[in-house]
Amino acid sequence: MTAGIRHDEMRKRNRALVIAAVRQTGQPSRTEITGLTGLSHSTISAIASDLIDEGIMCEAGQGESAPARRGRPQVAIALNPRAATVVCLHLSFNSLTAALVDYCGNVIDRKVHRLATLAMERQGLLDAAVRAVREIAHGRGGFQRIAVAVQGITDAAGTEMLWSPITPHDRLRLGPALAEAFGVPVTVQNDCNMIAVALRWLYPERYRDNFVAILLSHGIGMGLMLNGRLFTGTDSSGGEFGHMIHRPQGALCRCGRRGCIEAYAGSYAIWRRARGRDLWEKPIADIDTAEMGALAGQARQEQGPARAAFREAAEAIGFGIGNLFALIDPAPVAIIGQGTAAFDILEPRIRAALSETAGGQNTGSAHFETWPNETPFIQHGNAMTALTSLDREMFGPGLHVNGSRSIA
């Protein structure tokens, strides 16, 4: 009996390893999967055959990355996109995006709903999420899981949004509401954490075991990967880089406290400082991208309030990164979001501030990689979270395999 149980668990583990390898690399050959997993070629062949028979995988022609050689060509295998579907939601300021995603991670359909998130009642927000799922999945058969990314702090269990600047309602129980409506597992995650998950899938050669993903936008967020695992707190999603204190009793933040990094580096904070407004003034809800671009143009052209505002923002970010590095050691930093449009202004002072911290010593050659649009990363991270959770339910716990490219 014991030997049978061990054999069954080993079989589940090996199947999970194969699924993880194929999901990470796209269309590998059986030989490539052997190299990625360490399993024997005969074991890989047997598992692949079973998964193909079950409709989980399919043969996909010659392996894309297999070297040319004489003899029988390497036959690639891939996940079957029709094996399962998941729904991904992203709730942000005045917006709710729903996407239906196939088992390979491809978006089948995507719809954006405009909401007045600050004005909506609690039940209205929950109902909007249920409607968005129902609409995106209508007429397309069943789906197996829902993943929700939110602009805000979530609980460690991944069931509810504890707090968000986009709504006055705390403890928004999105997970239970969606699970009750559709009868499938639901995860609720911070959207910056989903950016970090996406980076690990998309660029594993750089963003793998330890790295930082910082969102520069109206607010400031962070996703943190440590030793190959997404960092979360014991009670919440954690990683609230933007709400680390930069100046005690300083400028007012959207969170209601004073002196946070975000209160100096968020778009609303830069606008407030550049326009000469009171630093204790309540942050405005949104700022047009064009107006932030105009402020950046002023900062590039001349000394003045706009340049001083971007300088203060850069200092807050640089000191924050340095303090983080003092805890975790220097790590690659990806900076994402509309705030990167002014990164040429920010970077010199970020580096200068970083060099003044204990964690910033010997980081003069640190490389910051930037992307202007966070939405694709949030979508991809959300999809991969849903799909890998589905894999674990189907096959048991597996390992993240470091491949050469993403399936996206």
Rounded to an integer, what distance in angstroms lies between the CA atom of residue 144 and that of residue 183?
9
Q: Which pLDDT belongs to residue 399?
A: 42
The DSSP code sequence of 98-139 is EEEEETTS-EEEEEEEE--TTTS-HHHHHHHHHHHHHHHHTT
The predicted-structure confidence for 154-166, as pLDDT tens digits, reads as follows: 999 999 999 999 9
Is 75 strand, coil or helix?
strand
140, 101 in Cβ contact below 8 A?
Answer: no
Q: Which pLDDT belongs to residue 361?
A: 80
CA dist 404 → 24, 76, 174, 201, 208 (Å): 8, 15, 35, 10, 12
Q: Token digits for 389?
A: 């959770």
Residue 29's DSSP bridge partners are 76
- Quickly state the pLDDT bin for 71 (edges 50, 70, 90): very low
Q: Which pLDDT belongs to residue 401?
A: 44
User: Quick one: which of 8, 18, 10 has its CA closest to 399?
Assistant: 18
User: Quick one: which of 52, 34, 27, 47 has its CA closest to 104?
Assistant: 27
Rounded to an integer, what distance in angstroms lies between the CA atom of residue 324 and that of residue 328?
6
Residue type, 306: A
94, 114 in Cβ contact below 8 A?
Answer: yes
Q: Which pLDDT belongs to residue 284?
A: 93
Dihedral of alpha carbons 237, 239, 243, 244, sign = positive
| pTM of this structure | 0.91
Q: Token digits for 19?
A: 């699924």
The predicted-structure confidence for 101-128, as pLDDT tens digits, reads as follows: 999 999 999 999 999 999 999 999 999 9
The predicted-structure confidence for 266-284, as pLDDT tens digits, reads as follows: 999 999 999 999 999 999 9
Report the percent of the chain where pLDDT is more than 70.
Answer: 91
The predicted-structure confidence for 188-221, as pLDDT tens digits, reads as follows: 999 999 999 999 999 999 999 999 999 999 999 9
Mean pLDDT value across residues 31-59: 93
- Quickly state the pLDDT bin for 75 (edges 50, 70, 90): confident
Is 316 strand, coil or helix?
helix
The whole-chain average pLDDT of the chain stands at 91
User: Quick one: which of 85, 77, 88, 4 has its CA closest to 45?
Assistant: 77
Q: Which pLDDT belongs to residue 6?
A: 74
